[in-house]
A = this chain, B = another copy of it.
Amino acid sequence: MREVAVIGIGQTKIDEHWDKSLKELAGEAIIDAMKDANRDYADAVYVGNMMSGSANHQQHLGSLIADWVGLRYIEAMKVESACSSGAAAFRAGLMAVASGQLECVIVSSVEKMTDSTMAEITTELATAADADYESGMGISFVALNALIMKRYMHEYGWKKEDFAPFAINAHANAVNNPKARFQYPINLETYLNAGMICPPINLMDASPIGDGAAAAVLVPLAAVNRNGRPIIKVAGSAGATDSIGVHHRKEPLFLKSAELSSKQAYQQAGLTPEDIDFFELHDAFSIMAALSLEASGFAEKGQGPRLANDGTIFPSGKLPISTRGGLKARGHPVGATGLYQITEVVQQLRGEAGGNQLDDVKIGMAQNIGGSGSNIITHILRKE
């Protein structure tokens, strides 16, 4: 397998983009990534997206977006795995370049959610769950996560306020990220007084939807011109699933698919959790941040919140997470999120993370969760 590097990245701000269509958002991020890569051509564009068919009445995003950005005639397809569609598209692009079939792939991810009503979007998001046994019974995504969080608090004895540092860290980091949706800090009081959505999940435990697009340009590592910039190599990449229904899992409080995909990624990269300098995890809900830390080898089962409360996850800690705001404050345009995470890892490794820049980071990890933990994709990127 030939090695692959990321040579260009692009992101739009995550927002309510009333003035831009789905394809305009995708195009903006792609053109930024191509400029960043100093390329005006690619062999293919793979687009990560979850809900364009129903939310935007447009499928066939591969062809649509290749055409829109002026790359007519290249190969194109859309890749979907619910909220982990962005990382899935990156993985498809990675394998296309690694296989030797293609020399340059643009990976794009886009979601435009705010044109729909809240009722529509809640229904769209529920298509990531089991239609027969979850969404068909009326349970929403927030409710599924609330059940997990409630049981977790009961099993391991954590209190509501123990989850506050996840949201506080995310919001503090988003202040310095011009692409983040919520660029303001919160404190413990904000967290504890936030409106309840579905107990124990309140507004500060839940990430916001949004419109946004990210993009990355992938080429063989051997084809990269350094040009004074660090080379960013994809050192590990793996995906794994668990049952789509939470109730079918052997351990509903453990993300087996995160454990499996992170272990494979560590193995490919020849690394252990100890070697990871920072971690862009999938804090769609604060409970998911805790579970992701545990399953990826950073904490024992039931001990994820400890890393939030002892400062480990803050920029000054041993394992900073959500360094540009995470899903909680940067925002969570579902099918686009995975590529925001990966492009944020690239920003940190290149030293381009502005007010969020971490000191002396060489290895970053991104983990994207689809559904309530049923499809988890882990990537490790390394500065060469």
Contact = CB atoms under 8 A, between A and B. Distances in A.
Contacts of A60: 80-82, 127-129, 244, 370-371, 374-375
A238 B99 contact: no
Interface stretch (A32-40, A71-79, A315-323, A355-363): A71-79
Interface in A301-331: none
Contact of A100 (B88, B91, B98, B240): B98
A77 B239 contact: yes
Contact of A256 (B64, B66, B73, B261): B73
Contact of A240 (B56, B74, B243, B244): B74
A63 interface: yes
A214 to B, nearest CB: 18
Contacts of A92: 77, 79, 92, 95
Given A75-B238, A98-B100, A374-B67, A131 B244 contact: no
Contacts of A124: 53
A257 B77 CA distance: 14
A73 B257 contact: yes
A127 B243 contact: no
A54 B56 contact: no
Contacts of A100: 1, 98-99
A281 to B, nearest CB: 19
A95 B99 contact: yes
Contacts of A154: none
Contacts of A101: 1, 95, 98, 237
A173 B88 CA distance: 39
A306 to B, nearest CB: 27
A212 B236 CA distance: 36
A91 to B, nearest CB: 8
A183 to B, nearest CB: 30
A288 B26 CA distance: 30
Contacts of A235: none
Nearest to A261: B75
Interface string A41-65: 0001000001101101111111110
A54 B124 CA distance: 9
A44 B239 contact: yes
Interface in A361-378: 370-371, 374-375
A205 interface: no
A241 interface: yes
Given A44-B239, A244-B60, A73 B260 contact: yes
Contacts of A375: 60, 62-63, 76-77
Given A101-B237, A127-B57, A242-B72, A77 B88 contact: yes
Nearest to A375: B63
A96 B46 CA distance: 14
Nearest to A102: B95
Interface in A218-249: 237-245, 248
A241 B63 contact: yes
Given A75-B241, A242-B73, A59 B50 contact: yes
A260 B74 CA distance: 9
A115 interface: no
26 contacts: A1-B100, A21-B132, A53-B127, A56-B131, A59-B80, A59-B128, A60-B127, A60-B128, A60-B244, A60-B370, A63-B82, A63-B241, A67-B241, A67-B245, A67-B248, A67-B374, A72-B241, A73-B257, A74-B241, A76-B239, A92-B92, A92-B95, A95-B99, A96-B99, A98-B100, A98-B101
Ordered nearest first, which 3 A-B pairs have the shortest CB separation? A1-B100, A99-B99, A98-B99
